[in-house]
Amino acid sequence: MADDLIGKTIGGYEIQDVIGRGGMATVFRAHQVSMNRTVAVKVLPEQYVTDDTYIQRFNQEVAIVSKLEHRSIVPVHDYGEYNGQPYIVMRYMAGGSVDDLLKNGSIELETVANIIEQIAPALDYAHSKQVLHRDIKPSNILLDDDGGAYLTDFGIARVLGEPAHSGITTQGVVGTPSYMSPEQAQGLPLDGRSDIYALGVVLFELVTGRRPFESDTPYGIAVLQVTAPPPSPRTLNPGLSFAVEEVIFKALRKKREERFPNAVALSESLKRALNKPVMSMHDTQPGFQRPTAPESASPSPPPQPVVTAMPLQPAYGTPLVPPMNPSLTSSNYSQVYPPVRRKKRPGNVWASAALGGLIGCGLLALVVLIITIIISNINQPARVSPTAPVQGPSTSDGSGEDQSGTIPTLDPTSAAARDNLIPSATQAATPVIAPVGVRATEVVNETLQAIGGGLVYFDYRNDNYDIYKIDLATGVETRLTTDEHVDDYPAVSPDGQTIVFQSNRDGDFDIYAMDIDGNNVRQLTNNTVLDNVPGWSPDGTQIIFSSDTRNNGTFDIYSMRPDGSGLQQIFSNNQRNSHPRYNPDMSVLVFTTGAPRDSSQWEIGRYELASQNYTLMTNNDTRDRSPAFSPDGQQILFLTSGIGDQKAAGDSALAVMNADGTNARIIYDGVGLEWGADYSPDGQYISFSTVAASTGRDEIFIMKVDGSNIVQVTNQGGQVASWIPGEG
């Protein structure tokens, strides 16, 4: 544990307390004895010292910062090791981070301009040295006690012209999705204008108190970065002038050549905009083109983001906001909900539809984008022969010992058991992690065979999002869909015969169904709004899902029969309600609920169907989402960014609470972002997705319900698994 260092002296530095925790390091306040001064010491946690990826990133930060000497870049004083743990000694910033300032909402515009004015030259200086930061965000801008602003954390920075080290960048995308440029989200080559976009996101957040794009998952946010126009900052902060809004819009242009050429140009434009009134002649003249609303946006097909390798996000990278205090009661909506009139779309015409953030773990972002597409007949996908068995799953914490309620600390994305890596017999290049003295392949095979059944999930491969299934006993994976459009968020029926999923095959996202073998694809909903994240009733007679009925980012909950008939609205409160799931006797629904454009205020809602009583099961200052009842109905599994004083390391940990909302607790929190969690049919296991260090992609993992005995199931990518009932 990192806290074990408090009170110790390492390399002449007396460790005093923790001032920050991130995905790859813990930062301490310390006293340098020789100089009698306070410093910040950044330490790589002990459990990652055997992981080459973390060591390389840590060393890279030292190498880069050592050659960047600028008054607005946090200086590094020293570097060393303590009991094998590398550490970096930096100047201590008494003012904390800009992220700390955001805890109380938006920041005064003059203060914002002052921060940007200091950071901009530092960013341009780094670019002049061919260094891309790639992770500009408020938590990486530190403040001294005199108003000085400093850029920090070059752990994932990239030196232009140097080949990417596979151990550092792995496959795909690194960075924080909320601040990624469109080209970074797609895994395209980057230049300094990518950092300019991130600085524009920071500027948007500082003046409005929220980020331009919010979704439930990294995937959803990345889609929005690539496809959706940012909302108007003036709708969130009416005190802003059009001139300031124009500066933000230019920084957030999707095409890099339309952004500011450098950070100083952005800063100077912001300073000029401050001197303009809220309404002026300049505001009505052509200048920067404002993005149109999603309903009328240009109907060009959006590029698909590559988000198979999401970042390890610092727990303190997400600003805290005041908790939501809803006054909603059952009297706020009618007693009976008639079926909603679903507008049919004319065939063979150009359609403009909103493409919202595709959510994971079942929630989705706002309505965003528009796709131009000619509506065509849905073709059944050609059946694809099963691939070779997936080799090289890994297992962590193989002891199986009762942790007595403690949260496992050995993350599946680490390589803490480096000495126990044993090549698979059929794929020697792929390592597997096993307990000491036991062949890993045998342990994993026995575990998966004992579980039985299989999993259905989606992933981005072959330049497309498709649905796959894997047999847990044999490891054989089969691709189920081959359509050129997005197919994702599958859910398997209780009898294991049918899969429902969401797809944009007709231009917007509707609910589809297919047989368990991928045949007989049929469209169940047909409208011009966004339908998402379907699920099943426990008896298999209903499909439940969410729909953006009003096309404004608020979602209502619907049910229908498995053939698409009997559509009925179940719940509506003019909030964003998503990921609905029944309890075993179908008397209660739980779901994510909250403001359409502020995920920090999302909570777990509970709706009793007979009494129509609606309550909040969580009501705090952290983001809670994607609930699911255990098969016995006694517990609810959900995702959280923190419970009490315990904040999730990657802004998303796996948690459970009793069915009545009591005894909420985190059961697993790795260094990355865990999502897409669900119970096995027998209630003994939990599946979830997180980034694996072995592939750099989101993979499917399985663990026992207490958070122990973690097994990696996929090694080619996998997101949001749904269980196929088996005998295990």
Find the Cα–Cα–Cα–Cα dihedral 540, 543, 545, 551, rounded to 10°. Answer: 180
Token representation of residue 647: 């904040």
**Rounded alpha-carbon distances, angstroms, from residue 458 to 199, 220, 478, 687, 713:** 32, 14, 11, 14, 14
Residue 201: other Cβ atoms inside 10 A? 25
Beta strand 13-21 pairing with 26-32: antiparallel
Q: Which residues make Cβ contacts (< 8 Å) with residue 299, sequence separation at least 6? A: 350, 351, 352, 370, 371, 372
Sign of the alpha-carbon torsion through 611, 621, 322, 225: negative
Token representation of residue 494: 């209780």
391, containing H or E segment: none
Measured CA to CA, the distance from residue 193 to residue 262 in angstroms comes to 7
Helix axes 109-128, 192-208, angle to 10 degrees: 170
Q: Under the phi-then-psi rule, with left for phi > 0, alpha for psi from -120 to 50, and beta for the rest, what region is 7? A: left
Instruction: Indicate the DSSP class of residue 73.
Output: B
Token representation of residue 197: 């976009």
Q: Which residues make Cβ contacts (< 8 Å) with residue 238, sequence separation at least 6? A: none
Cα 275 → chain centroid: 38
Cα 163 → chain centroid: 27
Q: Count the alpha carbons within 13 Å of 61 in the hemisphere toward its beta carbon.
A: 29
**What is the phi/psi pair of residue 569, to 5°?**
-80, 130
Instruction: Indicate the DSSP class of residue 576.
Output: B
State the Cα angle at 685 between 679 and 686, rounded to 5°: 50
Strand partners, 27: 20, 42
| Contact assessment for residue 431 and residue 392, using Cβ atoms and an 8 Å cutoff | yes
Q: What is the b/e burial string over 527-559, where b = at least 16 CB atoms within 10 angstroms of the residue's CB?
A: bbbbbbbbbbbbeeebbbbbbbbebbbbbbbbb
Residue 325: other Cβ atoms inside 10 A? 8
Measured CA to CA, the distance from residue 700 to residue 721 in angstroms comes to 7
**SS3 call for 639:** strand
200, containing H or E segment: helix 192-208
Strand partners, 624: 640
| Contact assessment for residue 628 and residue 578, using Cβ atoms and an 8 Å cutoff | no
Intra-chain end-to-end CA distance of the chain, in Å: 35
**Rounded alpha-carbon distances, angstroms, from residue 163 to 61, 66, 167, 173, 387:** 16, 20, 12, 15, 32
Strand partners, 416: none
Note if 506 is an active site residue. Answer: no
The one catalytic residue among 124, 135, 466, 488: 135
| Contact assessment for residue 364 and residue 533, using Cβ atoms and an 8 Å cutoff | yes
| Contact assessment for residue 19 and residue 40, using Cβ atoms and an 8 Å cutoff | yes
Strand partners, 90: 40, 76
Which amino acid, residue 52? D
DSSP codes, 533-547:
EEEE-TTSS-EEEEE
**Rounded alpha-carbon distances, angstroms, from residue 135 to 113, 132, 139, 202, 665:** 20, 9, 10, 11, 30
Catalytic positions are 135
